[in-house]
Structure formats: structure tokens, C-alpha cells
Amino acid sequence: MKPPRKRDRWRRLLRHLFIGHHAAQRAFPPPVRARIAAAVGDGERCHAGDIRVAIEAALHPAAVLRGMTPRQRALEVFAQLRVWDTEHNDGVLIYLLIADRAVEIVADRGAARAVTADGWQQICAEVERHFRAGRFEAGVLSGVQAVAAHLAPRAPGAADANELPDAPVLLS
């Protein structure tokens, strides 16, 4: 993969600077976040995994200048939110970076065995398709439902405690 051109890096920096950290709150107001939390809870009833949704409006300018990718940031958030810290290693993070209109899914070992890399990419592509059309809520809901559908046949619901919060987290 070629490194981004200098002009593209500056465009990305400007996008992250001007989007503002309140963009996540505008795109995902409390009623929308409540519906996402309900979808996560509903999905987790059909499988043993734990889904966490993290939404970030933009990266810090220093991270953009360093060339941090949405994937790298998703891995950081996966660790920060302790999505890996479930009894059966079945946590799944759906990370949204609004400034880049990017979606990344990071799955812990137990959940990663249940879905192929292509399966995760298909889910991300579907969510990003909604994002490009400005349908953020629909995108996240379709992503949560798709993750649940992929996990259900391979990891049927169990008497596991809900180890991760269902409510999406807005990162600043």
C-alpha cells in the first residue's frame, strides 16, 4: 500500500480539525445511543459474545500528523475500553471514526474464531455504505445486527453475564 500523498494528509488533518468533537454527539444524540444500546443487548441474547460500540468524531491532530490509521486507533480503543477483558475472550469492538467515515471491527480471540476476516470486512463495508449516505444510526444498527448474526450460529447464547456495557461510548 502506498503512503498517502502530502496533499491528502493535509486534507485529512483539516477534516479532523474542523469536524469538532461535538460531531459525535450531533450524529448520535441520546435517543439514538439508547436504540444502539438496545440493539446490542438484543443481539447479545442470541450469542455468548460481548459487543462494544465506540464512536469518535476526530483524532487528535498529532495522531493525524503521525499517520495514525483508523485501524491503529481501534486497536488502542480496544485496549483502553478493556474489550479484551471478558471471561471467554469473546469481546468485539465496533469502532467508528466520523471524520474519516471509517469503521473498524476488532474481535478478541474467542469471537475472532467465529468469523472470517472477510466476514468482518463485509460488515465494515456495509456500515461505511450507510455512513457515506449520512445514515449513521442505520449504519451502526446494521453493524451490530450483522455482528450478532455472525456470532450466533458459532457461539450460541449462554448464561454469561453481560461483561461489557451495551451503551455506545463517545470518545473525545
Q: What phi, psi does 166 have (nearest 5°)?
A: -80, -30
pLDDT at 81: 94
Exposure of 64 by Cβ count < 10 A (0-12 exposed, 13-18 middle, 19+ buried)?
A: buried
| Cβ neighbours for 34, distance < 8 A, ≥ 6 positions apart | 167
What CA–CA distance (Å, rounded) separates 26 from 93? 22
Q: Round to whole Å and give the CA distance between 150 and 144.
A: 10
At 52 the pLDDT is 95
Domains identified in the chain and CATH numbers: 6-171 (3.10.310.50)
- The CA distance from 94 to 92, in Å, is 7
pLDDT at residue number 158: 56
What confidence score (pLDDT) does residue 106 get?
A: 95
C-alpha cell at 151: 456470532
CB 132 within 8 A of CB 91: no
Q: Residue 13's pLDDT is what?
A: 92
Between CA 50 and CA 47 the distance in angstroms is: 8
| Cβ proximity of 36 and 137 under 8 Å | yes
Rounded CA Rg of the chain: 16
- How is residue 65 written as a grid cell? 500528523
pLDDT at residue 47, rounded to an integer: 79
What phi, psi does 102 have (nearest 5°)?
Answer: -110, 150
Each of the 172 residues of the chain gets a pLDDT tens digit; together they read 455 677 788 899 999 999 877 889 999 999 999 999 999 999 888 877 889 999 999 999 999 999 999 999 999 999 999 998 888 888 899 999 999 999 999 999 888 887 888 889 999 999 999 988 989 999 999 999 999 888 887 655 554 567 888 999 999 7
The whole-number pLDDT of residue 4 equals 60
- Flag whether the pTM goes above 0.85: yes
Angle between helix 136-151 and 30-44 (nearest 10) = 10
Amino acid 160: pLDDT: 58
